[in-house]
Amino acid sequence: MGILEVKGVNKRFGGLQALGDVNLSVQERSVHAIIGPNGAGKSTLLNCLVGKLIPDTGSVMFDGNSVLGRKPHEINQMGISRVFQTPEIFADLSVMENVLIPCFAKRDGSFRLHAFETVANEGELNDEAEKMLADVSMLEKRHMLASSLSRGDKRRLEMAMCLVQRPKLLLLDEPTAGMARADTNNTIDLLKEINDRRDITMCIIEHDMHVVFSLAQRITVLAQGTPLVEDTPDNIKGHPKVREAYLGE
Ligand code: ADP
Ligand code: MG
């Protein structure tokens, strides 16, 4: 049994079958990549996992509980966090202030802007924020303005903010899209560190095969809404159906 078990999921948009009988099993602590051509249904599948879309049929079980029928914030509280293409950070705040926001929100259930004024008395939250920054090797940059960071470091900051919630499963939709090679490698290292050190399971949608083969232990190839094959990176590389459907050979 995986930490995430998707069974028989179908999703139609009008006449278009975006997902057709999708099965997916993601093992705890693994990095599982989902690849496939544009329009294959990858983002639709992710949206079904976080409650943004509701499958027409099928089941989605996380950690033994069904996510279907739950609201996105409830699914988030179950331990599933999602990371988007562009890091979601507050550009005009410092690195430290960015991480304090989810720390406050977690403690108080909401964030009040005036909270920063009392931050001097909030030793516990400061410690928590600094720990999260240390975990992504960003502690030395805590006084920098978020907007001045490289793309790779913005991703590190976003991950520190995300770690505050103690996620069990991280869903990443093309986390290196549009990045220069140095930032991409920075992000690969970051995700490896988090997967190893924090035991966080990851499900990653990615077009860059260098990223996929650097990180994933299992790869599912989605084509026209249906899993074509699921296997190890080595087997996927040589798979004739994959070369034909995905690599265009
Ligand atoms: P991918 O992420 O693999 O590129 P998507 O999941 O975004 O693919 O899309 C799968 C198919 O579903 C595409 O044909 C897309 O146009 C369609 N689609 C996605 N979202 C919607 C929507 N909200 N309404 C109608 N069609 C959609
Ligand atoms: Mg997509």
Q: What's the pLDDT at 137?
A: 93
Reported ipTM: 0.98
**What is the model's pLDDT at position 66?**
97
| Residue list, CB under 5 A from ion ligand 2 | 42-43
Task: Choose the final residue of a domain: 165, 185, 206.
Answer: 165
Report yes or no on 47 lying in a domain.
yes
Closest ligand 1 atom, residue 173 Cα: 2
Examine the fold and report which residue of 108, 141, 165 is the final residue of a domain before the chain moves on. Answer: 165
Distance 16 CA to ligand 1 centre (A): 9
* Atom number of ligand 1 nearest to Cα 53: 23
Q: pLDDT at position 122, please?
A: 67
Protein residue closest via CA to atom 26 of ligand 1: 13
pLDDT value of residue 188? 95
> Which atom of ligand 1 is nearest the CA belonging to 38?
4
Query: Cβ < 6 Å from ligand 1: which residues?
Result: 13, 16, 18, 36, 38-44
Q: Is 85 domain-assigned?
A: no
Is 208 part of any domain?
yes
Whether residues 59 and 171 fall in one domain: yes
Q: What is the pLDDT of residue 65?
A: 96
Residue 182 and residue 160 share a domain: no
Give pLDDT, residue 245: 64
Q: Are residues 148 and 100 in the same domain?
A: yes
Let me know whether 96 and 192 are in one domain: no
Range of the domain at 8: 1-79+167-249
Atom of ligand 1 nearest to the CA of 225: 10
| 157: in domain | yes
pLDDT for position 115: 55
Taking the CA of 41 as reference, the closest ligand is 1
From the CA of 105, how far away is ligand 2's center (Å)?
29
Nearest CA to ligand 1 atom 7: 43
* Ligand nearest to the Cα of 35, by number: 1
Q: What is the pLDDT of residue 181?
A: 93
What CATH number has the domain bearing residue 242?
A: 3.40.50.300
b (16+ CB within 10 A) / e for 116-153: eeeeeebeebbebbbebbebbebbebbeeebeebebbb
- Ligand 2 centroid to Cα of residue 118, in Å, is 41
Euclidean distance between CA atoms 124 and 60, whole angstroms:
37
- What's the pLDDT tens digit per position in 43-52? 999 999 999 9
Among candidate residues 165, 198, 231, the one where a domain is terminated: 165
Q: List pLDDT tens digits, range 170-229.
A: 999 999 988 899 999 999 999 999 998 878 999 999 988 999 999 999 999 999 999 999
CB 246 within 8 A of CB 36: yes
Residue 176 and residue 247 in one domain: yes
Sheet holding 31-35, edge to edge: 80-83, 169-173, 201-205, 31-35, 218-223, 226-231
Q: Are residues 194 and 73 in the same domain?
A: yes
State which residues of the chain have pLDDT below 70.
Answer: 110-122, 245-249
Angle at 50 between CA 208 and CA 223, to 5 degrees: 45
Claim to verify: residue 156 and residue 208 sit in the same structural domain: no
Helix (H, G, I), strand (E, B) or coil at 20: strand
**Nearest CA, atom 17, ligand 1:** 18
- For residue 84, tell me if it sits in a domain: no
- The predicted pLDDT at position 111 comes to 60
pLDDT at 249: 53
105 and 222 fall within a common domain? no
Q: Are residues 146 and 111 located together in one domain of the fold?
A: yes
The per-residue pLDDT for 113 is 57
**Total residue length of the chain:** 249
Domains: count for the chain: 2
